[in-house]
């Protein structure tokens, strides 16, 4: 058994406060590592904040994929791996909503969010690369960002390429909900994505509010049979921890007769690869 | 606005009791129609019961896709459409775990479950056909059965081919759960499948127990934004009703900038079409 303690560090960044956000993330990583975490997930865009007014503001808050806040995550990581969202200034001069995988040796990989939500389309360029599976000291990690997991295909793709844990920096706004007694759809979908693929999904949301937008604070870590390993209602800043046995994510057998991937019938899934404009 | 009242008639069939099960289904359809249902969904294998001992027993309880219990559903349907699971004796002499779409004119379509769970592989032949989208007086209906929806692809396929409502006859056994306070994964996944595709999903489970197996009684009807339209904990036999506006399922726009299908990036979903053995 290879057990990894996974942390979602649900902090509350502030739009435009680069210094304050760096401190929040740095201290958040340190606290999670002190609590035994081998993998620490931070929210989406935790360097810049989320509610940005213009492409110019987003660009002014962006940083390259090396140095800056990411160097601080590496310094604070100890033996852990850190996955966190940041506003990236690309080599190509474009601004991306990205997530980095970092350990003490530096940046292992950068993923650029491929599915942009609403006004993000005005602020960021979409990523154009397949999200890689990264072999780390905390297992085989896949990375997606927020709205990417509103589609079943990206997690499916990562799991079929061998990911044990899918780390998802996210920012969920607290939009009106029909029924406050229902489990948030974001958590239901985190659990379901884990279940479909028999992987761990670490969905790290943020708390707080920015420029009139309240955030849900709905982080969750779900296990390979689709159950939450963490409390279901958070709201406030919090450190969520769950011990994850990677062998369980590598066993795709539901029963002696059922394999989560082997039972698929791709020849019957007519139209799922279609492009829709 | 085209509103359809959808019913899940969560009955408790009994293994081997063909006559009793016919009565339960017939009366169940009548009661749902009397309550205003335009679409009535019955559980999986509601003609035969679920916990069958052998292929011989399954075959002895199977019926052709016309006549028998299905003729009774048609008789009881009034202006409604009925989707229900039954043990089918195929023209090819094989036994299938099937679901029929029926209205007063008779059988509109039969779908044979393509993903068989556990011992079903000993009892039934798997379906080999794409599940069709059926244009009915209750909207464009897609049909899947139980374990079929433990995969994201079949619902995705139906929704991309125009289904408004995916009707899912199911039988969920009440297996040990890590935490009884958590929403059943079956309901979380029903909500998530609806959310991914902005469709209605009517998941009709069964109640009761058979030969030592207890059933969950976890039916749910979820709407296009992923929220349950029905209570989350049932257990006992019950009639669940929800009024479903089909126009909402035909609108795939999340925001003025986001379309549930148009935002997909199929070129980035590496490996999702792979066959795994």
Q: What digits encode the pLDDT tens for the residues A172-192? A: 998 778 766 899 999 999 999
Q: Which residues of B touch A253 (CB under 8 A)?
A: none
pLDDT at B39: 98
pLDDT at A180: 64
What proportions of chain B, in percent to the nearest 5, are helix, strand and coil?
Answer: 25, 30, 45
Known active-site residue A8: no
CB pairs under 8 A between A and B: 176
B115 and A263: CB-CB below 8 Å?
Answer: yes
B188 and A193: CB-CB below 8 Å?
Answer: no
Residue of A nearest to B155 (CA): A269
ipTM above 0.90, yes or no: yes
Nearest Cα of chain A lies from the Cα of B261 at a distance, in angstroms, of: 6
In chain B (277 residues long), the average pLDDT of successive 10-residue segments reads 94 98 98 98 98 98 96 98 98 98 98 98 98 97 98 98 98 81 94 98 98 96 96 89 98 97 96 85
What proportions of chain A, in percent to the nearest 5, are helix, strand and coil?
Answer: 25, 30, 45
* Catalytic sites of B, residue numbers: 44, 113, 146
Q: Please return the burial class of A41, using the count of CB atoms within 10 Å of its CB with bins 0-12, 13-18 and 19+.
A: buried
B273 and A273: CB-CB below 8 Å?
Answer: yes
What is the 8-class DSSP label of residue B119?
A: T
Which of A178, A257, A264 lies at the smallest CB-CB distance from B118?
A257
CB B151 within 8 Å of CB B115: yes
pLDDT at A186: 96
Nearest Cα of chain A lies from the Cα of B128 at a distance, in angstroms, of: 8
Q: Which residues of A touch B266 (CB under 8 A)?
A: 153, 273-275
Q: pTM (2 decimals)? A: 0.98
Q: Which residues of A touch B196 (CB under 8 A)?
A: 150-152, 189
pLDDT at B1: 63
pLDDT at A91: 96
pLDDT at B74: 98
Tens of each residue's pLDDT in chain A, 277 residues: 699 999 999 999 999 999 999 999 999 999 999 999 999 999 999 999 999 999 999 999 999 999 999 999 999 999 999 999 999 999 999 999 999 999 999 999 999 999 999 999 999 999 999 999 999 999 999 999 999 999 999 999 999 999 999 999 999 998 778 766 899 999 999 999 999 999 999 999 999 999 999 999 999 999 999 999 999 877 899 999 999 999 999 999 999 999 999 999 999 999 998 888 7
Instruction: Write the pLDDT tens digit of every residue in B151-186.
Output: 999 999 999 999 999 999 999 998 778 766 899 999
Q: Which residues of B43-52 are buried (b: 16+ CB within 10 A; e: fewer)?
A: bbbbbbbbbb
pLDDT at A276: 84
pLDDT at A234: 75
Q: Which residues of B touch A178 (CB under 8 A)?
A: 225, 227
- B265, B274, B275: best to mutate for the A interface, most A CBs within 10 A: B265
Cα–Cα distance, A148 to A167 (Å, whole number): 11
Place of tokens 């239901």: A188
- Pick the closest to residue B202 from B83, B88, B97 (CA basis): B83
Dig out the tokens for B147 from the structure. 């374990």
pLDDT at B64: 98
What is the 8-class DSSP label of residue A236?
A: S
């Amino acid at each position: 058994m290879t057990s990894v303690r996974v942390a979602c560090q649900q902090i509350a960044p502030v739009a435009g406060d680069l210094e304050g956000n760096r401190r929040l993330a740095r201290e958040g990583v340190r606290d999670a590592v002190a609590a035994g975490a081998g993998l620490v997930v931070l929210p989406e865009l935790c360097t810049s904040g989320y509610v940005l007014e213009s492409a110019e503001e987003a660009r002014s808050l962006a940083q390259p994929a090396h140095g800056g806040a990411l160097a601080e995550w590496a310094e604070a990581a100890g033996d852990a791996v850190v996955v966190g969202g940041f506003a990236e200034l690309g080599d190509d001069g474009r601004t991306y909503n990205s997530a980095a995988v970092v350990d003490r040796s530096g940046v292992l990989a950068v993923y650029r969010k491929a599915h942009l939500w609403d006004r993000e389309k005005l602020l960021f360029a979409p990523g154009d690369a397949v999200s890689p599976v990264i072999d780390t000291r905390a297992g085989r990690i896949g990375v997606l960002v927020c709205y990417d997991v509103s589609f079943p295909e990206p997690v499916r793709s990562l799991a079929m390429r061998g990911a044990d844990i899918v780390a998802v920096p996210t920012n969920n706004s607290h939009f009106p909900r029909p029924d406050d007694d229902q489990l948030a759809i974001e958590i239901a979908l985190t659990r379901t994505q884990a279940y479909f693929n028999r992987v761990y999904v670490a969905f790290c949301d943020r708390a707080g509010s920015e420029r009139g937008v309240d955030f849900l604070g709905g982080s969750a870590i779900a296990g390979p049979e689709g159950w939450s390993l963490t409390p279901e209602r958070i709201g406030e800043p919090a450190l969520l921890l769950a011990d994850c046995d990677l062998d369980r994510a590598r066993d795709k057998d539901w029963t002696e007769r059922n394999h989560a991937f082997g039972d698929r019938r791709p020849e019957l899934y007519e139209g799922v690869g279609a492009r829709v404009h």
